[in-house]
Structure 1
Amino acid sequence: MRLNVFRALYAALAAAITTSALLMPAGSASAAPDPSGRAIGAAADSIDATCKSHNRNYIVRKYYRGPRLYTLRCGTQTWGWKHIKARHGWNNTMDRKISTAIWSGEPTGRGGFSTYQNTYPRIEKFRTIIGTPAGTNDLLTAYKVDQPAVASAVARC
């Protein structure tokens, strides 16, 4: 008897989980966590709509480096999400690269973090720059680099 009740509960739970997963919208931040358990960021259309209805200081993403919080604000054409979208493109890959650079990248001399390819000479692959008119822990810009670390001392934007 108990085994039948357990099987019925298990089947009901499995059906509920499957149904709830199917009902989540594809662009939902909670719809598809990456393998590390962090949620994949909102789609560009979703952030664009958010920034159209909020001012430039509105926070659209949060990134962490240990206990320290870094934010991405709507921004303008010269800094923040609007700048990154217009100059460098925005998608889930860009969001993950920013998260990785901030979480585990090496600090740069300009208040940001970079990731490198493990080669000799080392090649910088991706760079973030932190610090905006809205705050010192805000993301100014982020972009792909692909050049030796020594040659990349001058920022792209």
Structure 2
Amino acid sequence: MRLNATRTIAALATAVATSALVIPAASPATAATSSPAATSSSAEVVADSIDATCRSHSRTYIVRTYYRGPGKYTLRCGTSTWGWKHIKARHGWNSTMDRKISAAIWSGRPNGRGGYSTYTNTCPSIEKFRTIIGTPAGTNDLLTAYKVTTRAAAKC
């Protein structure tokens, strides 16, 4: 039994060493491409891509899907008052906004406004980011999402 465990450990160690040899190290050229400028330009490309999609589709066209357990919430092209066009114009759109929306819907707490919010891990907890669900196009559609700037007083 002990001999098999030793062989298994040796095989795992060999596999790890081999995989480390196969994965190339990052070169200086690779490191340069992951700069903040490269990241922001990729976010602009995503926003431009969604913008182009929404120009050629109706306001009800789905551009993103977010999940909360088995539930599905959608972001549609929308108008100036709801959806992606609204969020882009009023609150800005980039990959960070997309991640914050996803996090709020996936693991946020219900906020009493028909959506989900993320909060600080302090006492009292302070709301950081809010989503509001429900549009003229559907009840599980994202109306808006934004960073919360006002702080309500709460007790611990």
Could you tell me the TM-score, scaled by structure 2's length? Answer: 0.68
Residue 148 of structure 1: aligned partner: 151
Instruction: Describe the superposition over 1:58-94 as per-residue Cα deviations: whole angstroms up to 9, x where unpaired.
Output: 0000000000000000000000000000000000000
Is 1:59 aligned with 2:78? Answer: no
Looking at structure 2, the residues matched to 103 and 149 of structure 1 have their Cα atoms a distance apart, in angstroms, of: 23
| Large movers: runs of 4+ above 2 Å | 146-151
Instruction: Describe the superposition over 1:91-149 as per-residue Cα deviations: whole angstroms up to 9, x where unpaired.
Output: 00000000000000000111100000111221110000000000000000000004434
In structure 2, the gaps of 5 or more residues are 1-17, 24-42
Residue 117 of structure 1: aligned partner: 120
- CA 1:110–1:139 in 2, change beyond 3 Å: closer, same or farther? same
CA contact (8 A) 1:122 1:149 kept: no
Q: Among the aligned pairs, what percent are the same residue? A: 78
CA RMSD of aligned residues (A): 2.4
Aligned AA for 1:138? D
Residue 43 of structure 1: aligned partner: 46
Q: Give, in angstroms, the shift of residue 54 of structure 1.
A: 0.2
In structure 1, the gaps of 5 or more residues are 1-9, 16-39, 152-157
Looking at structure 1, the residues matched to 110 and 152 of structure 2 have their Cα atoms a distance apart, in angstroms, of: 12
CA contact (8 A) 1:98 1:128 kept: yes
- CA 1:113–1:149 in 2, change beyond 3 Å: closer, same or farther? farther
Q: State the aligned residue count.
A: 116
